[in-house]
A and B are shown apart, each in its own frame.
Chain A
Amino acid sequence: MSYQRVKFYQTGTFTVGNRLLDEGDRTVQARTDRSNSLNSGHRACQGCGEALGARYALDAVMRATQNKMVAVNATGCLEVFSSPYPESAWQIPWLHSVFGNAPAVASGVAAALRAKGKTDIRVVAQGGDGATVDIGFGCLSGMFERNDDVLYLCYDNEAYMNTGVQRSGATPARAWTNTTQAVGTEPGNPMGIGKNLPRIAMAHGIPFVATASVADLHDLETKVTKAMSIRGARYIHIHVPCPLGWKSDPAQTIKVARLAVESGLFPLFEAEGGVVSDRTPIRKQVPVEQYLALQGRFKHLFNPRDEEALAAIQAIADRNIHLYALLPTKPAMET
């Protein structure tokens, strides 16, 4: 019996189907010897973007280090759904201390490894956006400025989901959360506030900063693998939809994540030494409305239509497109 090699092409993106790649470049998850850092049986919600992002990222680290790795976890959904005693889903050495100190704990692990001359073992710290941009920010900045040999992975689902959907410094403009309710003259999260941690990380001049999305898991793996080829402080900010907090269909997590990328709201790029060195272009920019309309947290923008807010969010996307030269036809803005 003969087999025909089937080729898969995706339309509308520059994403390349796994089967079109050389064996060596294919995703870790496609391998029979894949490592499964985060085992099945954990308690994440259906359609959880964070569980997916964490598994791909950490499996890529395992592959890059031949399993010689340690993970430090901030408090949050990932920690809670993966670790209820005594049923840990982690297949790697894993340490959770408190909410706001994962970067410092990881620095300590790295320091111990230096002291013991075991620098072949590598350290990853991970947390959600609250742990990263808010409560752990001081420790993260300290880890960056000391250029400690730690890869920090932020799984950004744009609010405090573990505590029941409250606003973080990474919550986007006009999004509903339980502490930015869809009431009043400016329903949802106020426009023009919040922080952009990838750019703050870049301002520290650390060797490697990247953004990634569960919409492009191969790109995520590639960036993690690249990060592990570098010594010093590295930061990857991963966009991970949360069906619970975003009020989106769990079956649509990847689509929602992809629309965030293709609208320009979540630009995918890399920076080395504080300078943008690469970006993932968008074939065709989609209007932000397509992204927003899939999420109940933005429904107050559509009933009735809040043209001013929609235009302002579109302007954020357009600025990103310009800033990172995401459309091949448009040159990069001076950064």
Chain B
Amino acid sequence: MKQQIEGSQAVAQAVALCRPEVMACYPISPQTHIVETLSRKVKAGEIGNCQFLNVESEFGALSVLIGASAMGARSYTATTSQGLLFMAEAVYNAAGLGLPIVMTIANRAIGAPINIWNDHSDSMAMRDAGWLQLFAEDNQEAVDLHIQAFRLAEELSCPVMVCMDGYILTHAFEEVDLPTQEQVDDFLPPFEPVQVLDPQDPVSIGAMVGPEAFTEVRYLAHHKHLQALEAIPRISQAFQDIFQRSSGGLLKQYHTDEAETLLLALGSVNGTIKDAVDDLRTEGWPVGAIQLCSYRPFPSHALRHVAHNAKRVIVIEKDLAVGNGGIVSGEVKLALQGLPTIVDTVIAGLGGRAISKAAVIDIVKAACLEGLEEPHFLDLNWEAINRELTKQAEQRRSGPTPENLLREIGLSSGKAL
């Protein structure tokens, strides 16, 4: 049924329809509305016998789910940013143990400086943990990906992060078609674990493994992601068969045929990018766009197939590999290696800075006409940066950089705000 609904509320409804059995949650913005809604549903008895645990930390939250999932229970939590880093050890562990936990990441920047707004630094920091990472473009897709995520996770016995942009999606009200319980039940069978703690058939889960078998265990984790490359499109198709709409898959194309320049991005900025592509095409620029829906596994083959005729791929990414540049663009370059395609890195939208349609249009034109330095930082305030660099060069005790920058830009202590 179509509803005007907040992204977080919609995701909570979708998760509830998936009949989770254990949820353990710890508050952190901007994912709180999701778990608040789920806690109410559990307490009201709307999700069967589901258990909702208010825990002492994100590390505790995911650890609870590790126990619950190993006991054969469908398990869910949501987190973001510092919370994801705080649970990092358990994030790797859940994947290493092959436990099909589903976790929403309400993507948010990582401090310092502390910042609650959206970028992709958090889930990127966990990109090699062994979880599948799916990115939603809008709230409809966020809803749909959660439903697909449980099936994908449990089929492969591999945990899945559903990444949705913090605030931009989590707090946005838009029209979402919420499925019925019957549809979800048709699509998502009960959880049948491949390993379970059972007194009738005792096994040791999480035993120590030495050099004699560790590489093989790691390869099998990699193999799971290779299987996911096949499973993600298949499950997306199965979803379409029941729900009558297309959601998810490895990647989505927008006017990629005949396009000489392709924009590539993850998450909600694809909406802006598609508008920019429309305008550019009206002006006669041969431009298209690729929305990367699955970041882990990275769909190298599918991407190469789509982009192999393009002259240029401009990767707009909301993250930064400090000291190197782009994270996503590096992987795009690897996928396109051997082709003459130029891959540009545009670091944009860090800490919630808006990425406007005009900025996207300008960057495409600049890249095509003049080329871009690598990496390119979108909308960087060079004046403020240079003032700070000068200050740092002039005095040893130059003070905390974030404070200085705020003062430079005139936003601190009531000056401009």
Chain A residues in contact with chain B, CB under 8 A?
67-70, 72-73, 79-80, 83-86, 88, 90-98, 100-101, 104-117, 121, 138-139, 141-142, 145-146, 148
Contact = CB atoms under 8 A, between A and B. Distances in A.
B67 interface: yes
Interface in B188-206: 197-199, 202-206
B21 interface: yes
A282 to B, nearest CB: 37
A146 B198 CA distance: 25
A112 B75 CA distance: 9
A124 to B, nearest CB: 12
Q: Which interface residue of B21, B208, B210 has the most chain A CB atoms within 10 A?
A: B208
B67 A83 contact: no
B71 A138 contact: no
B156 to A, nearest CB: 20
A276 B93 CA distance: 38
A101 B63 contact: yes
Contact of A142 (B49, B55, B203): B55
Contact of A141 (B56, B59, B66, B75): B56
Contacts of A106: 67
Contact of B208 (A69, A83, A145): A83
Given A83-B208, A108-B24, A146 B54 contact: yes
Interface string B16-43: 0000011010000000000000000000
Contact of B204 (A88, A98, A112): A88
Contact of A111 (B51, B198, B202, B208): B51
A104 B208 CA distance: 20
Given A84-B207, A96-B205, A105 B59 contact: no
Contacts of A115: 21-22, 48-51, 68, 73
A85 B208 contact: yes
A139 B60 contact: yes
Contact of A95 (B51, B65, B197): B197
B50 to A, nearest CB: 6
8 contacts: A69-B199, A84-B207, A93-B203, A94-B205, A97-B90, A105-B70, A107-B53, A116-B71
Contact of B70 (A84, A92, A109, A114): A109
B90 to A, nearest CB: 6
Contacts of A109: 67-68, 70-71, 197
B35 to A, nearest CB: 15
Nearest to A92: B202
B5 interface: no
B112 interface: no
A117 B73 contact: no
A90 B208 CA distance: 13
Nearest to B214: A85
A335 B93 CA distance: 42
B51 A114 contact: yes
Contacts of B199: 67-70, 92-93, 121
B59 A72 contact: no
B57 interface: yes
Nearest to B207: A83
B60 A142 contact: yes
Among B24, B68, B198, find the residue whose CB has the most chain A CB atoms closer than 10 A: B68
Given A90-B204, A108-B65, A85 B209 contact: yes
Given A115-B50, A116-B21, A104 B64 contact: yes
Given A93-B197, A111-B53, A104 B207 contact: no
Interface of B: 21-22, 24, 48-51, 53-57, 59-61, 63-73, 75, 89-90, 93, 97, 197-199, 202-210, 213
Nearest to A70: B197
Contacts of B197: 70, 93-95, 109
A90 B56 contact: no
Contacts of B207: 83-86, 88, 96
Best-buried of A72, A107, A111, A142 by chain B (most CB within 10 Å): A111
Contacts of A110: 67
B21 A138 contact: no
A9 to B, nearest CB: 39
A101 B60 contact: yes
Given A108-B68, A111-B51, A101 B59 contact: yes
Contact of B71 (A85, A86, A113): A113
B57 A138 contact: yes
B287 to A, nearest CB: 47
A116 B72 contact: yes
Contacts of B73: 108, 111-112, 115-116
Contact of A83 (B64, B204, B213): B204
B109 to A, nearest CB: 25
A97 B209 contact: no
Given A68-B199, A139-B56, 4 more contacts: A95-B70, A101-B90, A108-B53, A112-B69
B22 A85 contact: no
A80 to B, nearest CB: 6
A95 B206 contact: yes
Nearest to A37: B202
Given A72-B67, A108-B65, A100 B202 contact: no
Contacts of A98: 63, 89-90, 93
Contacts of A121: 199
Contacts of B48: 115
